[in-house]
Structure 1
Amino acid sequence: MRKVLVFLSDMHSGHVLGLLNPTTVLQDEDQSTGEIVSYSPKLTATQEYLWVLYQLYLEEIARIAAGAPIQIYFDGDVTQGNAFHEQLVTTQLAGQLLIAAANLRPLVSLPGVQVMRFASGTGVHVFKEGSAPVLVKAQLEAEFPAIDFKVMQHGLVDIDGFLVDYAHHGPSSGIRMWTEGNQLRYYLKSLMLEEIVHGKVPPRFVFRAHFHEYVRETVRVKGKVEYEADIVLLPSWCGMGEHGRKATGSKLRLSNGLIVLVVEDGKLVDYIPLVEQVDLRTKERL
């Protein structure tokens, strides 16, 4: 059977540079009347770009699937959290959860979606102990009871014999262009060897996130049986905030998007990166 797997991560819902569905409805108090009023937050320029890109990619997922079953894997940081107080749409837990659910609703509404899995993410971004994805899951499963939702820290899924390992945290792509991917390959080879030593078959794909950068690397382990595996560092659905610029040493470029795998009878038949890369510098000619 043909199945379509969608992998995405790091929406950071609630950040002014994170994905924001323009139909999101939040609440506030009008203290001049005492009434509770509803409003939709205004999108920033970065959010406008991300929303247009998201809509394009949702259409592409539907085209690729063409009625086949879809499984969605969200690899962490569905919200921004309020540990970092700068650049927030709202500091309110409820507000960030509503934004996250509104962001995911169009994806979950695609025809053929049967499964959605959440990897928890970073504690400071998900209100500690995986709270945000658990609460977003509760909202979505109430609206989509036919879809199988679960939240976990680290998943290993068997899709008709096609194994995928996914978690939020893992290696970075490296800090120099000429070393890009080295850490990913070493990490993947170690993971593969550990599985082999324990008498297990290594996963065919390993997905990690957190660094808001898209990189794919392949490793082969040769022996009596040859194993091949890919590791993918997932792009984000967020711009680069103040904390991100500091943490990355003013990285030049940022990746936004998602990855689609098409699996048929336990075999990979297509790998489709739907990824846009943007240059973060302000350019001038004087």
Structure 2
Amino acid sequence: METPRTFLADGDHAARRIGFGAMQLPTSPGAARDASTAVLRRAVALGVPLVDTAHLYGWGANEELVAEALHPWPSEVMVATKVGVVRDAATGDWTYDGRPESLRRQVDEGLRRLRVEQIALLQLHRVDPATPLADQVGALDELRREGKIARIGLSEVSVEQLQVARDVADVASVQNRYSVFDREYEPVLAACEAAGVAFLPWRPVAGAASGSAAATAVAAIGREVGATPAQVALAWLLAHSAALVPIPGTKQVAHLEENVAAGQVTLTGDHLRRLDALNDLHDPGPS
């Protein structure tokens, strides 16, 4: 099984562990789409190692945007997507669907939209409570053996669910909500560290501008090191665990560059102790 160190090229280097979450990018034709394309291309130019998308993001439109902007992308860039959430034909709302036949169809559609023969990292976006998790992961493992998937990931899972999945197949990554402001899934991170599974925290800087006591403390450290609060939040993640590969998202090139530059922010032992202590001020904000 791949360890977090080898999950991404040059994974030892902090700047090469900051990925990009594409969810926020507008996909409608026109200037906004052009701006989205510019952000994606700048991300690759900056050496961002992972671009994260999903079928749910615009019901495939986000995947098509990523392919349009980046295909064919460099081999050192991992484009990850997710399946398991579909649109209800009757209501238009989203719903879970982790049935093996549905996952297979969703993967085939993702391959087509991304213009690839193999998805580098295919994540189960949410566990479908109506289908045994072992069956969902088993279906993805069949697709891995067929060569349509290189790696299997999970999203928003518990320690117990991670273990069930690992009993069925190799799991390369877990994508759960996690940040210096929100550590509900600390036990899952610990399980990932023990198993050599990468942890891709989403919402990794959420709360940095909330005005909470924790946000105020982060901003103070930012002033001390000459960094923005978001950069401090990302730098803490990189220092907190080698398993963490944060995937902050943005619609702006300048913000993207700021996020990537967080890999160069140096936090002292005192800074890290103060940031670690913020767990007592847990304040994730709205989810």
Larger Rg: 1
TM-score of Structure 1 vs Structure 2, range by shorter chain: 0.3 to 0.5
Which is richer in helix? 2
Question: Which is strand-richer, 1 or 2?
Answer: 1
| TM-score, length basis structure 2 | 0.36
